[in-house]
Structures are given as C-alpha cells and as structure tokens.
Structure 1
Amino acid sequence: MPTTPLSVLDLIPISAGATAAQAVRNTVDLARRTEEAGYHRYWFAEHHLNPGVAGSSPALAIALAAAATERIRLGSAGVQLAHRTPLSTVEEFGLIDALHPGRLDLGLGRSGPQLLKERAARPAEPSPQRTTEEGLFIPGGRQLNPDKLLASGRLAAQFALLRQPGAQTPDYGEQVAEILALLSGSYRSADGVEAHPVPGEGADVQLWILGSSGGQSARVAGANGLRFAANYHVSPSSVLEAVAAYREAFRPSATLERPYVAVSADVVVGEDDAHARHLAAGYPAWVRSIRRFEGAIPFPDPETAAGLHWTDEDRELVADRVDTQFVGAPGTVAERLRQLQAATGADELVITTITHDHRDRVRSYQLLAREWQRSEPDGPR
C-alpha cells in the first residue's frame, strides 16, 4: 500500500511573550518548511477572540502562504458558515484560485450558538473509555455544561460581533448545496434567478466537510460525495462514530467515487520521549483555557507551565485531550499515528503541533516527516 499522506493543521498560535505579527511570520515560514519536508496539505483553522490564536481568516492566511510556497495544497479547516455566506466564501476562494489554480481545499465547518447548544443537549450519560484492537485510545465522552456555555460572555460577544443583528444561520446542508451550485455554475434562486460569481465559478477547488461527530456534518459530506475530515484532536471520543456515519451516508459523486477520510491528531515530536514531553508541557494549560471558555491563552513556555496550579477538576477537564496527544520521539509518535490510521481507516492524517518556540515546532514536523517516510509501507528507505 502507498504511504499515507501527512498534512498540517495550523491555528497560527501566539506564544507567550510574542505578538500576532510574529505568529503570522512563523506560519509562513512553517508552510515553506513543511512543503520542503513533503507534507501534502497545509490547512488553516478559523478562531475568533482568542488571545493566543491569530488564525481569524483562513482565506487571508491561505493567500499569504500561497505566495510563499509552490506545490503544497492550501486550505481551510474550516470556514465557519454560521457567520459567512456561500457567495462570499466562493468569491474569496475563487480570487485566490485565480493566481494559484489547483492548489486550494475549501473545508467547511459548522459553528455558532446553535451548534454549541446541540452539543450541550447531548445525553449526559458518558460513554466509557476504551482501547481499540489496533491500540488506539478512545476516551470517554464528556458533556458540555450548558449553563457555563450559555453564560460565557466571551462566546456571547463573539457571536454578536460576527453576525449582523437579527441574522439567522440557514441550514448547513442548504449552505453546502449553494456553495456546490455556485462553484459549478448551476445556481438558481427560489425565483429562478441565476448567479455566477466572478471569480469563483469554475474554480479548481477541492471541497471538504469537517466534523466532530456522527451528526449533520458527516451526513452532509457523505450524501454529497465530498471528502470528510474528522477531529481526533478536538473530539477524540467520537472520531469512530464520525467516520462511520460519513461512510454509511456516502454516495459517489462526479468528483469522488469512494469515501475519503482525513483524521487529525495533536502531535509533538522531540529528539527523544523526554524531550518531547518537555516541549509539550504548555499544552494542558492551553487546553484548560479553551475548556473554561476563556479563549486560548498565549502558549506557555515549559518552565512557566511547570509552575501552574492545578486542581483535580482542572485535570479532569483536559484529560481526554492530554491523553490523546501523541508526544514522543519520532518512532513513538509514528507508531501511535499508525494506530490512528488503522482504527479509523484514514486515507490521510492531519497533524497539528504547537510548541512555545517556533524552532521546536518546525523541528517536530521535520522529524515526523522523516520517520514517516522511512517507516511507512512503500516509503523510501
């Protein structure tokens, strides 16, 4: 079998003591370096009002990276359609495609208060943790606290600032259908009016759907014959449910004959296991800030992280993310990634790595790429 491609997911993290401008420059450099190392895609997440994350506009980040690279595919993971329109999304990606044709991935995600309410309303009965026969750890499901969720002033401000007053988000499946129609030139309004975005119509853009569960995103991706990206790094407890629902719903399309799945993983690679654990020391505190609905903090350096106070409640809050972060020497991490690939049947793995020092982050990606190419079946020896 051919080597499973490795790709990159970048939030444009800001390290403690650094600036957003430095984070953006680091991202452009990392895009160049990972292209040189042989990574297949470079994706940008979309986040807002986070003190430690500068990735607020995937389209702009893609344009910056496209100008600095030559071959690597570039994309969004993903554009959050709760506060975007299909037309604006197609036009933005069409504009980039005009100068960088055939390199773009348009990854679409759900977001906004309605999605968070749906997650909070899921049954409170937690699913048990387990280990698959391939050796992949699946943590127990965790229930969002709806009271904390709905009372978060930061989230309320984010939703208010991203949407026009009184705006209502259309059905996600309908938004995806409109994007497909605008790209293909087949769009017709309810009144029969045609719309032809320039640029945008006919753009050589690969469409992806992002999902964290077996819910609407997985079903929409499958029903439309689109590629699907599942989040082990965000929602590890439901990754198997997500990929199974996608495959069950899949119907072949003009662009895809069989299901195609990418699965993400949080990874830190060091020279050895102990070195990697040192580099990853800031990760639990960073996750804790997100889980408290405070917004991601600037990523702490290992020494500062070691001195932070933790309660049992804090540890429980982040346990699923910490326990499913792949941290270690190149061989250690490659083995865990192979377990993830085997358990999910992933066609591709998407790696997201955050360290305090940019050089350590670059080195982590380089070490992993070298080990993956060496150790994967049919990889170069």
Structure 2
Amino acid sequence: MTPPPPVPLSVLDLSPISAGSTPAQALHNTVDLARHAEAAGYARYWLAEHHLTTGVAGISPALVIQLVAAATERIRVGSGAVQLGHRTPLSVVEEFGLLDALHPGRIDLGLGRTGFRLPGPGGTPPPPRPKPAHTEDRWTPEGLLLPPPYDVSSLIGSPLLTRYVRLVQFPGAELPDYRAQVEQILGLIRGDYRTPEGLEAHAVPGEGADLGVWVLGSSAGASAEAAGALGLPFGANYHVSPAAVLDAVTAYRKAFVPSGKLDKPYVLVSADVVVAEDDAAAQRLAAPYGLWVHSIRSGRGAIPFPTPEQAAAHAWTPDERALVDDRIRTQFVGSPQTVVEKLRVLQRATQADELLVTTITHDHADRVRSLHLLAEAWGVRG
C-alpha cells in the first residue's frame, strides 16, 4: 500500500541578525533564503513581526513581503503574523491589498493578537492568568513532548515590555476585541463593511483582494475561537508555546464553522528546526539558540544570534537553564532523518494539515543547507 504523501512544508523567517552582522545583511539573507525555499518546493514563506530588539530585522511584514515576493515567482508569501494589538483593520487591508495588486493570488495575511497593558497606578492591570494545565512533562500517545507552560509573568513590568507599550501602542489605548477586528478585516476585503452608524467604507486597494487570511495563535483562547467561528485556517504555535499546542488546535476545531473559504478545519503547526548532515553537526549549529531565547525571556529582547563558539563558552546557571528549558527540548535538531521523524510525530499528534518550520543559525549558509536537507528528506518537490 502506498503511504500518503507528506503534508506540505512552509517556512517562517524572522530575518535574524547574526552577531557581527547588520540588519541590511539579514534582509539580504531573507530574500536569498526565500529563493531557496521556492526552488526546494516549500508551499509558503512567512515573515514575522518583532520590535525593539537588536537581533531581528523583521519589523514590518508588509515591507519584507514585498521584497520577497518581488524576488520570487511562485511561492506564497505572507505574514506570520501582523500584530493587531497596535494596528487598525483598515491599515492592514490597504497594505495587503497593495501587495495583492502587485502579486495577485500569492499573498497570505496571517493575523496575530499581540498587545499589552502596563500594570501600576493609573493603568489597567492585566487579567489574572489561568493556572497551568500541567506542571510536569506530558507526552502524547504519538510521543510528542508537551512541557510545562512558560510563566510569562516575569516579563510584566520588564524594561522590554515597558518600552514596547510606550513606543508601539498609542498612549492609553485599550486593546480592541480581537474577533471584531478580524471580522472588520474580512468585511473590508469583501466590500460589505459598514460602520456602527451604517456608513459604507471601501479599502482601495484591498477590497476584492485575493488574500489568504489566516489566524495565528498560541493557546485555546480568543485567536483559536475566532479562527474557528469565522471558518478561517489556523496556525498553532508549537515552536514558542509547545505546552498549549494541543489545546489550541482542539479549541479551533471545536469552534469551527464552515465558511465560503473552508468547508473543514485547516491547521498549520510551527516547529523550530535545525538540520545538518549528522546529529552532532546539527547540535553544534543549534547550541546558540538557548542564549538567544534567554535574552528574550529575561526581558532584554532578542540579541544578535551568537556563534557556536560563544555558546560553548557560556557557563549556564540552573536558573538560566530553567528559563529556556521548554524551548530547547522542543527544538527539532539533528540529521535529516532525525528531524523528519520528529516532525512526523508533531504532525500525527496535532493532525496538522501543514507544518511551518523556522530555522536560526549564526551562518546563513547553514540555514540554507538546513532548508534543503529537510525538503529532500521530507519528500518536498521543487
């Protein structure tokens, strides 16, 4: 009996800045990696949005999408994701409508929900966080690790978060209802949006755009529920929030209502991977990842991605290691066969229709090689 074909693979790129390099070089690397992804047969190439860090050049998905789409011919290009916590639906639809006008039928609009409130006098305190679903490692029947969830409370009030709120969000801004934002985006694209007063509003460009609209989420909360209720495809985040990935996809499927776009749920799941010729070589290339994640979770923001030598010289304390343990243990690192087997476990456990891989190494050539080795071993065809 012929085995079923593998699910599609796609790429998420943060445009990382390596130690000793520059933002300009990082963006040139992104364009080059996208060309390689297209040649290797990946389905789509998504660009992330990050702010106020020294280690990531991907601050504006729409601008980088234009760079990538202009440099490629067939691969779908999109956002993973536009953060609606500091954007209006109209601005998003106009920007992505312009991209679709230039590259019709190739643009994905992935929507995220990031937004924060600062605690303290005069501020609105964040809502209480629910208790973790589990405090010890869990394993699915397929063998997928679900580590204890990371506690983000340590970032509340950190210099990084304070800068973000002060500089990215408008002063005193209240976070809008996420589902209402997504519905407004869909209405503007369809051309039937009306304000609460009944006034027509038309986004040009944007109205009638052939955009693939996605919702991305890290938990079983508003994002998963909105994606399901509106009949949109959903991207679940294993590479950043591995503990909650099954809860997120379950909530999405439970909430799903067929739409004009989808008659059944469609789930994409992300994974952080590093592939090399053998396990030892891959482990060496992936070694700086822990330092990079620690810079984010300790409130400093992403640092330029260290070299393997810098990683080897770092003496980890128990507290430092604990802060990044879940991310290191859920990164898929190894030879092509090793990583393929791990990705198959992820796909079976989540029943994903597509996998989204992100790879960060210090040297760009190692990212390119990782991408090609994985595509060949997975069975992707260019």
When the two structures are superposed, what TM-score results if normalisation uses the length of structure 2? 0.95
Deviations 1:44-94 (A, max 9, x none): 111000110011000001000010000000010100001000000000000
**Does structure 1 retain, via aligned residues, the 8 Å contact 2:290–2:324?**
yes
Aligned to 1:75: 78
In the alignment, the residues of structure 2 paired with residue 218 and residue 118 of structure 1 have an alpha-carbon distance, to the nearest angstrom, of: 20
In the alignment, the residues of structure 2 paired with residue 14 and residue 304 of structure 1 have an alpha-carbon distance, to the nearest angstrom, of: 15
The structural deviation recorded for 1:114 is 4.6
Aligned to 1:354: 360
The structural deviation recorded for 1:154 is 2.0
Structure 1 residues 115 and 165, CA gap change in structure 2 (3 angstroms)? closer
2:342 matches 1:373? no
**Does structure 2 retain, via aligned residues, the 8 Å contact 1:280–1:355?**
yes
**Does structure 2 retain, via aligned residues, the 8 Å contact 1:9–1:350?**
yes
CA RMSD of aligned residues (A): 1.7
2:300 matches 1:297? no
Question: Quick one: which amino acid aligns to residue 315 of structure 1?
Answer: R
Aligned to 2:147: 139
Deviations 1:310-339 (A, max 9, x none): 110111111100000000000000000000
Which residue, out of 191, 194, 201, partners 1:188? 194
Matches within 5 A, 1:255-274: 255-274=261-280
The structural deviation recorded for 1:132 is 1.2
Question: Quick one: which amino acid aligns to residue 71 of structure 1?
Answer: R
The structural deviation recorded for 1:133 is 1.2
In the alignment, the residues of structure 1 paired with residue 37 and residue 303 of structure 2 have an alpha-carbon distance, to the nearest angstrom, of: 25
**Does structure 2 retain, via aligned residues, the 8 Å contact 1:122–1:143?**
no
- Structure 2 residue matching 1:193: 3-state secondary structure: coil
The structural deviation recorded for 1:120 is 6.5
The structural deviation recorded for 1:250 is 0.2
Aligned to 1:340: 346
Which residue, out of 282, 290, 296, partners 1:276? 282
Matches within 5 A, 1:1-381: 1-114=4-117, 121-123=129-131, 126-145=134-153, 148-373=154-379
In the alignment, the residues of structure 1 paired with residue 33 and residue 297 of structure 2 have an alpha-carbon distance, to the nearest angstrom, of: 27
Structure 1 residues 292 and 259, CA gap change in structure 2 (3 angstroms)? same
Tell me how many residue pairs correspond in the alignment.
374
Question: Quick one: which amino acid aligns to residue 175 of structure 1?
Answer: Q
The structural deviation recorded for 1:167 is 2.5
In the alignment, the residues of structure 2 paired with residue 119 and residue 322 of structure 1 have an alpha-carbon distance, to the nearest angstrom, of: 29
- Structure 2 residue matching 1:268: 3-state secondary structure: strand
**Does structure 2 retain, via aligned residues, the 8 Å contact 1:182–1:197?**
yes
The structural deviation recorded for 1:150 is 2.5
- Structure 1 residues without counterparts, runs of 5 or longer: none
When the two structures are superposed, what TM-score results if normalisation uses the length of structure 1? 0.95
- Structure 2 residue matching 1:113: 3-state secondary structure: coil
Identity %: 61
- Structure 1 residue matching 2:379: 3-state secondary structure: helix
Structure 1 residues 140 and 164, CA gap change in structure 2 (3 angstroms)? closer
The structural deviation recorded for 1:144 is 2.3
Which ranges of 4 or more aligned residues in structure 1 deviate by more than 4 Å?
114-120
Question: Quick one: which amino acid aligns to residue 187 of structure 2?
Answer: A
